[in-house]
A and B are shown apart, each in its own frame.
Chain A
Amino acid sequence: MNYEYLDTSTADLTIRAFGKDLKEAFTNSAMAVFNTMVDAGSVSEQEIKLVSKKAKDIKSLFYDFIEEIIYFHDAEGLVFKTVKVEDIDEKNNTLRAVFKGENFNPKKHKPKNNIKAITYYDMKISHKNSGFEIEFTLDL
């Protein structure tokens, strides 16, 4: 399992994503967000967005990474299919990633949820036995 929806939040949506390393946990978190907006399986890879972020700590870096998806959706009307996290530097809190998707098309994509924002509420980025786990809450 790459990610799951948790039952802990009354108003919002809490997601737990897994990965063998931080890169994979970030990737699966982004996939969960894509699939919260529309079914990512219905999206084609026509537009490419390069993302490069630097933050003061890992949680802020994760926040910025997810916020970028929400931003591209609202500002440019994009929905996504895949993400490749090319590089994460845990010491300097930087990352580079590539999102691939296309313009939202109501004939092709069924909208699922409108995400207002990612929140810091109960955000956890933790190292577990065999990898990483990220827990975060979206305000819908």
Chain B
Amino acid sequence: MKLRQLTELEWEIEKEPPMLVPGRVFASKPLLKIIQEDESLKQLNNMAQLPGIQKYAIALPDAHQGYGFCIGGVAALSTSEGGISPGGIGFDINCGVRVIKTKLKRKEVEPCIKELTNSLFTGVPKGIGKGSIINVPRNELKEVLARGSNWAKDKGFATDSDLRHTEDNGYLKNNNPDFVSDRAVNRGLPEVGSLGSGNHFLEIQFVEEIYNESVSKVFGLERDDVVVMVHCGSRGLGHQVASDYMRSIEDAYPDIVKNLPDRELAYAPGGSDLADKYFKAMNCAANFAWANRQLITYSVRNVFEKFFDHSRGALGMELLYDVCHNIAKIETYDGVECYVHRKGATRSFPKNHPDVPEDYKNVGQPVIIPGSMGTGCHILVGSEGALKKSFGSTAHGAGRLMSRTKAYKEFPAVKVNQIMQDKGIYLKSETKGTISEEAPGVYKDVDEVVRVSDQLDLAKKVCRLKPLGVIIG
């Protein structure tokens, strides 16, 4: 594999058979060095072999090893010549992040951060034996799958403004709940409105630094404003949809799978019945994830209302935005309609793009990039460069640096708790294991990931958020 430097932050894996296009890596030298330590580039090379792939296979600055595609990977496959690959989306369909604003200031929240975090920990269920926000009857789950955040709105869990400030308004209409298996439904039923565990989190943060005053103003964020960030996805339902269709595709297209370098790149050819079914089932899982994050938002607002004895309106608990970072969308680039696979990648649409909400039309969509729990998160704004270079995409997080087994050894829970305490961050977790796995040192430097994104114009920096209280499942 030949890696060639194109510019300071752009690298190319030269096209060699059986690759159909080159690979493109967006990274600084230090980030590239980390990316080269695992199988990410080999996976990028594999992605470049998929039929119908446009321009190049992309690894973003937070890229790390996944299965099939690398995480932090983008590939646009023509809807006619290519196809759709569940392994290019990930098991956690529509895993995503949202930010809920408040009118509270850091100095009002910091003194009671422990109590507030504990209240949220109790108020937001984690799923499986740990409860979910509501029990949805089986026949109603179809409504969740078909209507996403619209279902939540009808039930009183969402406002019009929430929907306007969610990617795709929190609902993808090209769906069909009949294509979601009973097994997936059974896994989803006990989990409607639950955070999950692993790298999923809920954080109370404040605006630490503003890089772009005018955009920040449009987003309604000022220095020291307190916000709540939620990171989770479609839970077991989405995982089962991915598993089910990987199997269906393998069974239906053994010849395709046989010729792929990795079984998990299996794709349903564009125009096939299976591609249509998977796309519609995936959109159901995406709708489930939005409904899930919306229910969590509802619970967060309830906890804040009770805790501060003010209405959510008075507390200014508006949704800034909600992005999904594991999904395939049908979008058109250079006249070619594609399934744009974003696996651990955030859509980054610039100002005046038709898919940017009206309130942000003049600046671009908010792009939310969380870092590890001890460092910070960034709000960026979608930019033109992304449309030219990365099929309208940028990074989705800091990206993992080391394996979980190594994390256990290097970051025992006691040590992580101490690190967090030293940083003035209150950490509440269900398990010790997760504390180690999510330790700040386990992730790459999010500031560097964001710097690369900003410099390449994939998304521009707006402000940096710092955690005060962290909940992990």
A contact set with B: CB distance below 8 Å: 5-14, 56, 60, 63, 67, 70-71, 73-77, 103-106, 109-114, 116-121, 137, 139-140
Contacts and interface: CB of A to CB of B under 8 A. Distances in A.
B404 A140 contact: yes
Contact of A121 (B67, B129, B189): B67
Given A70-B239, A111-B128, A111-B197, 10 more contacts: A10-B65, A75-B187, A77-B129, A104-B129, A110-B431, A111-B130, A111-B430, A114-B128, A120-B263, A139-B67
A112 B431 contact: yes
A137 B405 CA distance: 13
Contact of B400 (A10, A116, A117): A10
Q: Nearest 5 pairs between A and B by C-beta?
A: A121-B67, A104-B129, A74-B236, A75-B186, A74-B187
A7 B406 CA distance: 7
24 contacts: A6-B405, A8-B403, A9-B404, A12-B67, A12-B404, A71-B187, A74-B186, A74-B191, A74-B236, A110-B431, A111-B128, A111-B129, A111-B130, A111-B197, A111-B430, A111-B431, A113-B431, A113-B433, A114-B197, A114-B473, A116-B92, A116-B198, A117-B239, A117-B243
B251 to A, nearest CB: 7
B473 A10 contact: no
A70 B128 CA distance: 11
A10 B403 contact: yes
Contact of B243 (A67, A73, A75, A111): A67
B382 interface: no
Interface residues of B, number: 49
Nearest to A103: B129
Nearest to A110: B431
A10 B397 CA distance: 14
Contact of B91 (A7, A8, A117): A117
A95 to B, nearest CB: 16
Q: Residue among B127, B190, B242, B243 with the most chain A CB within 10 A? A: B243
B130 A106 contact: yes
Contacts of A121: 66-68, 262, 264
A117 B197 CA distance: 14
Interface of B: 38, 64-68, 71, 90-92, 127-130, 183, 186-187, 189-191, 196-198, 235-236, 239-240, 242-243, 246-247, 250-251, 262-264, 400-406, 430-431, 433-434, 437, 473
A117 B242 contact: yes
Q: Residue among A9, A11, A63, A67 with the most chain B CB within 10 A? A: A11
Q: Residue among B71, B197, B236, B433 with the most chain A CB within 10 A? A: B236
Nearest to B64: A10
A118 B406 CA distance: 20
A127 to B, nearest CB: 20
A120 B264 contact: yes
Contacts, number: 117
Contacts of A8: 403
B396 to A, nearest CB: 12
Contact of A9 (B65, B187, B239, B433): B65
Given A74-B187, A111-B197, A10 B401 contact: yes
Contacts of B402: 10
Nearest to A118: B243
Given A114-B196, A116-B92, A7 B262 contact: no
Contacts of A118: 243
Contact of B240 (A12, A71, A109): A71
A37 to B, nearest CB: 9
Contacts of B405: 5-7, 13
A120 B69 CA distance: 13
Contacts of A5: 404-405
B262 A105 contact: no
A113 B128 contact: no
Nearest to A6: B405
Contact of A114 (B65, B198, B264): B198
B264 A105 contact: no
Nearest to B408: A5
Contact of B183 (A75, A103, A114, A139): A75
Contact of A112 (B64, B187, B243, B433): B433
A120 B129 CA distance: 28
B222 to A, nearest CB: 35
Contacts of A7: 403, 405-406
Contacts of B246: 120
Contacts of B128: 73-74, 77, 104, 111, 114
A14 B64 CA distance: 15
Nearest to A123: B263
A8 B405 CA distance: 9
A119 B264 contact: yes
A139 B239 CA distance: 10
Contact of A113 (B67, B197, B240, B242): B197
A104 B129 CA distance: 6
A84 to B, nearest CB: 23
A104 B239 CA distance: 20
B66 A11 contact: yes
A75 B404 contact: no
Contacts of B190: 74-75, 77
